[in-house]
Amino acid sequence: DAKTTQPTSMDCAEGRAANLPCNHSTISGNEYVYWYRQIHSQGPQYIIHGLKNNETNEMASLIITEDRKSSTLILPHATLRDTAVYYCIVRPFAGGTSYGKLTFGQGTILTVHP
Amino acid sequence: AAGVIQSPRHLIKEKRETATLKCYPIPRHDTVYWYQQGPGQDPQFLISFYEKMQSDKGSIPDRFSAQQFSDYHSELNMSSLELGDSALYFCASRRQGSYEQYFGPGTRLTVT
Could you read off the pLDDT of B73-96 as tens digits, one per residue?
A: 999 999 999 999 999 999 999 988
Interface contact flag, A43 B56, Cβ < 8 Å: no
Could you read off the pLDDT of B14-54 as tens digits, one per residue?
A: 999 999 999 999 999 999 999 999 999 999 999 999 999 99
Question: Does residue B94 contact residue A100 with C-beta atoms inside 8 Å?
Answer: yes
**pLDDT score recorded for residue A104:** 92
**Four-residue CA torsion sign, B88, B109, B35, B102:** negative
List Cβ neighbours of B107 (8 Å cut-off, separation of 6 or more).
Answer: B6, B7, B8, B9, B10, B11, B21, B88, B89
For chain A, which ranges sit under pLDDT 50? none
Kind and range of the H or E run holding B1: none
Q: Which residues of A touch B97 (CB under 8 A)?
A: 95
In whole angstroms, what is the distance from residue B37 CA to residue A17 CA? 30
List Cβ neighbours of B51 (8 Å cut-off, separation of 6 or more).
Answer: B30, B31, B68
B34 touches chain A (CB under 8 A): no
In A25-103, beta strands by DSSP E: 31-38, 45-50, 55-56, 61-64, 70-75, 84-92
Candidates B42, B52, B59, partner chain A, best to mutate (most A CBs within 10 A): B42
